[in-house]
Chain A
Amino acid sequence: MDIETDASLSRRDLLKAGGALVVSFAFGGTPLPARAQTASGTGEAGKPLDPTEVDSFLVIHPDGSVTVYTGKVDVGTGMRIAVAQMAAEELGVATERISIVDGDTGRCPNQGGTGGSTGLTRGGTAVRQAAATARQALLALGAERLGRPVSDLTIVNGVVRPVAGGRSIGIGPLLEATKFRRFSLKVDPKAPLTDPSRYTIVGKPLPRPDVPAKCT
């Protein structure tokens, strides 16, 4: 009985949401990815879901830890740790400082279905490009704060610092300079990627975060 009641309620809710959807399309003009039910097309506290936006893929927290959002789902393939490594490599952040949210349509950009070996080849590479774009933005913010040219700077363990040493600043505090702690940037398809010959994180076998819970 309870189940039937709930089902009829949710059908009604769905119809209501469907009505809102038509209206938002009529006025908004652009189709929204994922969460089309909400007028703004944004997830968690206004985080965008548009796969062309850097902020759709990653959030840098005040303590310098990072949450990566991916529309591709880890079904035991190890994609979570692999994507974390790809993001860590580009951002200059330790893998342990990255947590992954995968496949939540309310919070993650729509990257299409997971299958056909597209998890990393399309899903992972999109995160990588977003992280590479974010890296350039972080270096620019760091240059401003430290009063040094971008070319002097690097990011190591979540800290922007001069290659030669000197005053540095964490990526968490750096984001305070931006509106809502966001990058508000389009993913730059030309943002330079770390050369594979210089990888220190990608390619290392690391334990998957999902395994302990699956064994206990």
Chain B
Amino acid sequence: MATYTFRLNGRSVSVDAWDPDEPLLYALRGALGVHGPKLGCGLGQCGACAVLIDKQAARACVIPVSAAAGRHITTVEGLGTPERPDPVQAAFIAEQAAQCGYCTSGMIIAAKALLARTPKPTLDQAKQAMDGNLCRCGAHTRILRAVMRASQA
């Protein structure tokens, strides 16, 4: 069994996996007990599992744990807390941009990645960037408002 070491939300962690192709998401939610990223489609198509690898948003359900080795992984837990939210989280809370909450972690990660490369997006750019993150409750309008609010913070 191989051991993979990477940084998770600022601290060094190691996980054992029999299969180097085990999805990073399983390691995060299982062995590491980090439950922000969600298993949605399992095919990299809905964005519920999104995490930051270094500064880029990635789909943890299709990224193998072996690919995380040596990288910096950030989940929504690594951004802030309810008491001290990160600016993007604060914008989502201010806009009440969550209903059931299943997509929210991935939405925040996608917004975080967008704002890292385009700090002042237009609404169209925000729509494009968030296009691959699905919300079945229908909170997209509030989510876009939150992204725009965060860009102005």
Partner of A214, one of B79, B81, B101: B101
Asked whether B20 is an interface residue with its Cβ less than 8 Å from the other chain, the reply is no
Q: Which chain A residues border B97 with CB–CB below 8 Å?
A: 215
B82 near A216 with CB under 8 A, answer: yes
Q: Give complex CA distance A215, B82 in Å.
A: 8
Which positions 86-109 of chain B face chain A at CB distance < 8 Å? 89, 92-93, 96-101, 104, 108
Asked whether B80 is an interface residue with its Cβ less than 8 Å from the other chain, the reply is yes
Contact with B along A200-216 (1 / 0, CB 8 A): 00000001101111111
Contact with B along A180-216 (1 / 0, CB 8 A): 0000000000000000000000000001101111111
Known: A76-B137, A211-B93. A216 touches B81 (CB 8 A): yes
Q: Which chain B residues border A215 with CB–CB below 8 Å?
A: 76, 82, 85, 89, 92-93, 97-98, 104, 108
A216 near B89 with CB under 8 A, answer: yes
A212 near B85 with CB under 8 A, answer: yes
Asked whether A77 is an interface residue with its Cβ less than 8 Å from the other chain, the reply is yes
Chain B residue at minimal CB-CB distance from A207: B96
Asked whether A164 is an interface residue with its Cβ less than 8 Å from the other chain, the reply is no
User: Which of A76, A207, A208 gathers the greatest number of chain B CB atoms within 10 Å?
Assistant: A76
Q: Give complex CA distance A207, B93 in Å.
A: 8
Q: Give complex CA distance A210, B81 in Å.
A: 13
Q: Give complex CA distance A211, B143 in Å.
A: 13
Q: Which chain B residues border A213 with CB–CB below 8 Å?
A: 82
A216 near B80 with CB under 8 A, answer: yes
Interface SS, A side: loop
Partner of A208, one of B96, B104, B108: B96
A77 near B82 with CB under 8 A, answer: no
B100 near A75 with CB under 8 A, answer: yes
Asked whether B22 is an interface residue with its Cβ less than 8 Å from the other chain, the reply is no
Q: Give complex CA distance A78, B98 in Å.
A: 10
Q: Give complex CA distance A76, B77 in Å.
A: 20
B99 near A76 with CB under 8 A, answer: yes
Contact with B along A64-77 (1 / 0, CB 8 A): 00000000000111
A216 near B101 with CB under 8 A, answer: no
A15 CB to closest chain B CB, in angstroms?
A: 32
B77 near A211 with CB under 8 A, answer: no
B79 near A211 with CB under 8 A, answer: no
Known: A76-B137, A211-B93. A216 touches B98 (CB 8 A): no
With contacts A212-B82, A213-B82, A216-B89 known, what are 20 further pairs, Cβ within 8 A? A76-B99, A76-B101, A77-B99, A78-B99, A208-B96, A210-B101, A211-B93, A211-B96, A211-B98, A211-B101, A212-B85, A212-B93, A214-B98, A215-B76, A215-B82, A215-B104, A215-B108, A216-B79, A216-B80, A216-B81
